[in-house]
Amino acid sequence: MTDTNEKQGRRPDFNIHTKVADGAETRIGPRIGVAFRHKDGEGLNILLDAMPIPLNGQVELVGFPVKD
C-alpha cells in the first residue's frame, strides 16, 4: 500500500510504540508504526505495521518524536 505521506517524501513526525504490562509496572514496547501530523495541526495519520492486541479491551499507543 502506498500512502500519501510516502508519495510526498515526508518523514514521520512520531515513532509509535505500544505500552506493555510488565508485572505491576508498564514499559514501552516495540515500535509498531509511525505518525504524521495533519497539515492543519489538528490530528495525526497513524500507520501501523502491527496491530496491538489489547488484554483489557484498551489499546494505549505512545508517540516519540523522530530524531534526525
Q: Which residues constitute the domain of residue 12?
A: 4-65
Q: Does residue 2 carry a pLDDT above 80?
A: no
Its pTM stands at: 0.70
Tell me what pLDDT residue 1 has: 40
Residue bearing cell 504524521: 36
Number of domains observed in the structure of the chain: 1
Tell me what pLDDT residue 15 has: 93
Q: Does residue 3 carry a pLDDT above 60?
A: no
Asked whether 54 and 61 are in contact (CB, 8 A), the reply is no
Q: Which of 33, 35, 32, 46 is nearest to 13 (CA)?
A: 35
Tell me what pLDDT residue 8 has: 67
Q: What is the 3-state secondary structure (H, E, C) of the chain?
A: CCCHHHHCCCCCCEEEEEEEEECCEEEEEEEEEEEEECCCCCCEEEEECCCCCCCCCCCCEEEEECCC
